[in-house]
């Protein structure tokens, strides 16, 4: 049974990725980050989901991306914007976040002798973040295969992105087929302390439209 690390935020996409990795027969290790995000309820959500999917281990790494700032998700002086159908990279983009998350996954992978890292990036129904694009993932994988002792010793590292070219509706349909209860996942950038979604930020609107297009009743708990 091959091991896999799954980057798990507690949102719709990463939860679906965990379910897919389980379905594919991997022994799953979940990795979440307490990175100074304002939205704290996603961490609680990630714990419940990791538990439900019976991962071998769930780690929450603490890193202070709020010290670096530059994003509405981490900086208390920048408010979360409502959805706008713009081509610009939004202020919710967190500088180098996926690069940092994948780097920690790479370190942990080396220690537990694992060659597979799953990340729920999507380049279709997404916010235009540069570090969600296939060309970024490919470049990270190339770099990873020169970075570590295990890569030098001949173990190929795979960065796996099963959702990258799916619509949000397709992701939801796949996840429902795998038994996910999406009311337990939190995608909202501005959820309240009870984990209830705002319904108006980019993440909420992309998610909401996914349920509409999939013709499935939206189980999200809104404020």
Provide the token pair at 151: 């890569």
With CB under 8 A as the contact rule, the residue among 41, 47, 69, 173 that binds a copy of itself is 69
Contact between 161 and a copy of itself per CB under 8 A: no
Contact between 81 and a copy of itself per CB under 8 A: no
Contact between 111 and a copy of itself per CB under 8 A: yes
Stretch that binds a copy of itself, among 11-19, 67-75, 78-86, 174-182 (CB under 8 A): 67-75
With CB under 8 A as the contact rule, the residue among 38, 47, 52, 133 that binds a copy of itself is 133
With CB under 8 A as the contact rule, the residue among 47, 52, 59, 221 that binds a copy of itself is 59
CB 34 within 8 A of CB 53: no
Residue in 223, 1, 25, 203 with CA at minimum distance from that of residue 120: 203
With CB under 8 A as the contact rule, the residue among 48, 51, 89, 165 that binds a copy of itself is 89
How far apart are the C-alpha atoms of 100 and 37, rounded to whole Å?
A: 14
How far apart are the C-alpha atoms of 199 and 206, rounded to whole Å?
A: 10
DSSP strands (E only) in 63-177:
116-118, 158-160
With CB under 8 A as the contact rule, the residue among 110, 190, 200, 218 that binds a copy of itself is 110
Contact between 219 and a copy of itself per CB under 8 A: no
Please identify, using beta-carbon distances, which residue of 15 and 161 lies nearer to a copy of itself. 161
How far apart are the C-alpha atoms of 140 and 84, rounded to whole Å?
A: 29
Contact between 178 and a copy of itself per CB under 8 A: no
Query: Minimum distance between the CB of residue 176 and a copy of itself, rounded to whole angstroms?
Result: 32
Contact between 98 and a copy of itself per CB under 8 A: yes
Contacts by 199-204 with C-beta closer than 8 Å and gap 24+? 199/223, 200/82, 200/83, 201/80, 201/81, 201/82, 201/83, 201/92, 202/81, 202/83, 202/84, 202/90, 202/92, 202/127, 203/11, 203/92, 203/127, 204/83
With CB under 8 A as the contact rule, the residue among 56, 99, 158, 173 that binds a copy of itself is 99
The residue written with tokens 């060309």 in the block is 135
DSSP strands (E only) in 56-124:
57-62, 116-118
Query: Minimum distance between the CB of residue 47 and a copy of itself, rounded to whole angstroms?
Result: 17
Binding site for a copy of itself (CB under 8 A): 59, 61-65, 67-70, 89, 93-100, 103-104, 106-108, 110-111, 130-131, 133, 135-136, 139-140, 142-144, 146-149, 151-152
């Amino acid at each position: 049974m091959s091991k896999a690390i799954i980057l798990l935020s507690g949102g719709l996409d990463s939860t679906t990725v965990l379910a897919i990795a389980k379905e594919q027969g991997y022994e799953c290790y979940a990795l979440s980050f307490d990175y100074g995000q304002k939205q704290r309820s996603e961490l609680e959500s990630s714990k419940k989901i990791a538990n439900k999917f019976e991962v071998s281990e769930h780690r929450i790494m603490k890193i202070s991306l709020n010290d670096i700032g530059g994003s509405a998700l981490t900086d208390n002086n920048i408010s979360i914007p409502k959805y706008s159908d713009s081509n610009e990279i939004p202020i919710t983009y967190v500088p180098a976040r996926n690069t940092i998350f994948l780097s920690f996954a790479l370190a942990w992978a080396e220690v537990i002798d694992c060659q597979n890292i799953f990340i729920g990036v999507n380049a279709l129904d997404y916010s235009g973040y540069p570090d969600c694009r296939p060309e970024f993932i490919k470049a990270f994988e190339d770099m990873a295969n020169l970075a570590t002792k295990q890569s030098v010793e001949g173990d190929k590292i795979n960065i796996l992105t099963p959702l990258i070219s799916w619509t949000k509706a397709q992701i939801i349909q796949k996840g429902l087929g795998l038994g996910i209860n999406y009311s337990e996942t939190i995608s909202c950038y501005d959820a309240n302390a009870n984990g209830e979604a705002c319904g108006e930020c980019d993440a909420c609107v992309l998610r909401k439209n996914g349920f509409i297009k999939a013709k499935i009743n939206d189980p999200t708990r809104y404020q």
